[in-house]
């Protein structure tokens, strides 16, 4: 199968050296992301497009490959194509007609041609010839140039041409790693997951910073969504997941700070800790999911007071977005249901929070705060590579992983619906429950506690994270199923 990768349009307007560098980075990212699906994948192209050729024949594997390509930043479209040598327009017609004859029956259609190179014909000439012949020699209802039922796409490149069989929308943005890294503050909710995604889409290698307010269970819940975001949209690069224990900081605020100032001061403490962590990681910017006016701490006066504690650049991708727009993006990228089901860990709740914080008042309140508590939190931070999240947590808690099943074991397929639909788990004679990972917290407790359940996902990472999470909540009847696991 051959694919033509169309570049994000902003890449094509860059200067020649920058464009070549971006395309080189994109080729590298495609190889790294798609290698687990097809180790022999051939990726070429230097200027106007990238060509990807795969020897895979299994339709499920090909669908998985397309899905991965569509989630790589920097790609505008993924075209499934058939390649032919350019001989004549008559030969082209003979190749196109059998592919589209059934699709055109009773339908309005048009032919669209894109051409690169020097030829004795124009793109319009090809469109008129192919379109006219298809209109006369098939059962098409006619030609319609605007909003047709069927579009016949042809791309001509010098001495060869491609017949486009399918067209898939890409993610857009810039290739991952083409911009400097950032440290994104993530809580697992709608805002922080979407803001992290938006920087990843822009080609920014996005590390995660998590302020732990609810113990190991809270940390596991956020690690799950961070791993999902990284594995789906940023797996071409290694990133860190930094956990900063913030229970002591919250306790200090609750005991010593005026109630109305708590929210702003908590955000200032988080920004101080994140800035220091970014400095230690040699990262020059931090990212938050704040939007103007969404909550009391996110008014413009409050944001100005919060930002005044650091010289580090603070990026807010969602700053002017409506909440519903944020939720819509979360639904599109696959984090909406997870965000709805993640536990809420309220740090400080003010009865009458200030919306116009005054620097003098904030500084006076912070004079009562013991900053050694904040320093200790930063000092006690834990940093782990996202792709090693499970190994890190297994050092604290063992989860049994099995490759064989007992008679009464029930398998729970926890993959995201997109993955499950591409390659359904087939095990004749076995009871399989499809329960996406973001539903486990609410639906697993409803299952029969006398039965044994095995969580399943493709790589075994999400299943182990969620098994640890469930065991933390007291469910001892859960293990992980990993077919083909080495003893």
- The one catalytic residue in 34, 71, 209, 457 is 457
Q: How many CB atoms lie within 10 A of CB 211?
A: 26
Question: Can you read off the two tokens belonging to residue 279?
Answer: 């400095």
Q: How far apart are CA 402 and CA 409, in angstroms?
A: 11
The annotation status of 267 as a binding-site residue, yes or no, is yes
Question: Can you read off the two tokens belonging to residue 101?
Answer: 């004859």
The annotation status of 289 as a binding-site residue, yes or no, is yes
CA-nearest of 166, 97, 161 to 135 is 97
Give every CB contact of residue 163 below 8 A, 6+ residues apart in sequence.
81, 82, 84, 95, 96, 99, 153, 154
Does 457 qualify as catalytic in the annotation?
yes
DSSP lists the bridge partners of residue 167 as: 79
Q: How far apart are CA 388 and CA 455, in angstroms?
A: 19
Name the 3-class secondary structure at 193.
helix
Q: CA 234 → CA 7, 30, 134, 350, 370, distances in Å?
A: 17, 11, 43, 37, 38
Question: Can you read off the two tokens belonging to residue 252?
Answer: 């200090």
The annotation status of 5 as a binding-site residue, yes or no, is no
Question: DSSP string covering 203-249, please?
Answer: TEEEEEEEEESSHHHHHHHHHHHHHHHHHHH-TTS--EEEEEE-HHH
Q: Report how far apart the first and last C-alpha atoms of the chain are (Å, whole number).
A: 36
Answer for the pair 382, 463: CB distance below 8 angstroms, yes or no.
no
Q: How far apart are CA 350 and CA 291, in angstroms?
A: 19
The annotation status of 298 as a binding-site residue, yes or no, is yes
The annotation status of 283 as a binding-site residue, yes or no, is no
Question: Can you read off the two tokens belonging to residue 145?
Answer: 């140039």
CA-nearest of 445, 333, 454 to 70 is 333
Q: How far apart are CA 73 and CA 203, in angstroms?
A: 6
Name the 3-class secondary structure at 407.
coil
Question: Can you read off the two tokens belonging to residue 84?
Answer: 């032919």
Q: Is 450 exposed, middle or buried (0-12, 13-18, 19+ CB in 10 A)?
A: exposed
Name the 3-class secondary structure at 421.
helix
CA-nearest of 457, 454, 390, 386 to 419 is 457
Q: Is 320 exposed, middle or buried (0-12, 13-18, 19+ CB in 10 A)?
A: exposed
Catalytic residues: 457
Binding-site sequence positions for ATP? 185-186, 267, 289, 298
Binding-site sequence positions? 185-186, 267, 289, 298
């Amino acid at each position: 199968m051959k694919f033509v990768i169309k570049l994000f349009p902003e890449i094509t307007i860059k200067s020649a050296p920058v464009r070549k560098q971006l395309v080189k980075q994109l080729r590298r990212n495609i190889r790294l992301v798609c290698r687990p699906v097809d180790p022999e994948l051939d990726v070429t192209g230097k200027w106007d497009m990238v060509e990807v050729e795969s020897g895979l024949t299994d339709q499920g594997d090909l669908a998985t490959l397309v899905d991965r390509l569509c989630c790589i930043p920097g790609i505008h479209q993924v075209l499934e194509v058939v390649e032919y040598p350019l001989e004549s327009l008559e030969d082209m017609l003979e190749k196109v007609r059998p592919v589209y004859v059934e699709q055109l029956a009773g339908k309005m259609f048009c032919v669209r041609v894109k051409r690169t190179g020097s030829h004795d014909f124009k793109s319009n000439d090809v469109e008129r010839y192919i379109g006219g012949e298809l209109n006369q020699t098939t059962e098409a209802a006619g030609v319609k140039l605007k909003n047709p039922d069927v579009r016949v796409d042809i791309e001509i490149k010098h001495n060869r041409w491609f017949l486009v069989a399918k067209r898939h929308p890409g993610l857009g943005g810039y290739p991952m790693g083409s911009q400097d890294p950032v440290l994104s503050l993530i809580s697992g909710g709608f805002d922080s997951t979407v803001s992290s995604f938006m920087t990843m889409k822009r080609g920014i290698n996005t590390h995660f910073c998590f302020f732990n307010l609810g113990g190991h269970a809270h940390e596991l819940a956020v690690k799950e969504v961070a791993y999902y975001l990284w594995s789906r949209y940023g797996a071409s690069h290694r990133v860190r997941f930094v956990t900063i224990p913030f229970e002591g900081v919250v306790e200090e605020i609750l005991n010593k700070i005026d109630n109305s100032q708590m929210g702003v001061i908590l955000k200032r403490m988080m920004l101080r800790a994140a800035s220091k962590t970014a400095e230690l990681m040699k990262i020059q910017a931090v990212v938050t999911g704040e939007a103007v006016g969404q909550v009391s701490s996110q008014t413009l006066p409050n944001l100005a007071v919060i930002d005044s504690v650091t010289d580090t650049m603070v990026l807010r991708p969602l700053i002017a977005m409506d909440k519903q727009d944020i939720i819509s993006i979360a639904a599109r990228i696959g984090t909406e249901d997870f965000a709805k089901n993640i536990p809420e860990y309220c740090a400080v709740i003010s009865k009458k929070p200030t919306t116009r914080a005054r620097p003098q008042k904030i500084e006076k309140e912070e004079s009562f705060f013991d900053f050694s508590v904040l320093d200790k939190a930063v000092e006690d931070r834990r940093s782990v590579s996202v792709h090693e999240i499970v190994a890190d947590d297994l050092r604290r808690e063992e989860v049994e992983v099995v490759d064989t099943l007992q008679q009464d074991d029930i398998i729970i397929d926890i993959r995201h619906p997109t993955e499950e639909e591409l390659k359904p788990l087939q095990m004749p004679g076995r009871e399989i429950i499809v329960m996406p990972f973001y539903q486990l917290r609410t639906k697993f407790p409803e299952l029969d506690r006398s039965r044994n359940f095995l969580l399943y996902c493709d790589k075994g990472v999400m299943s182990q994270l969620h098994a640890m999470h469930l065991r933390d909540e007291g469910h001892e009847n859960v293990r992980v199923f990993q077919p083909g696991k080495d003893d």
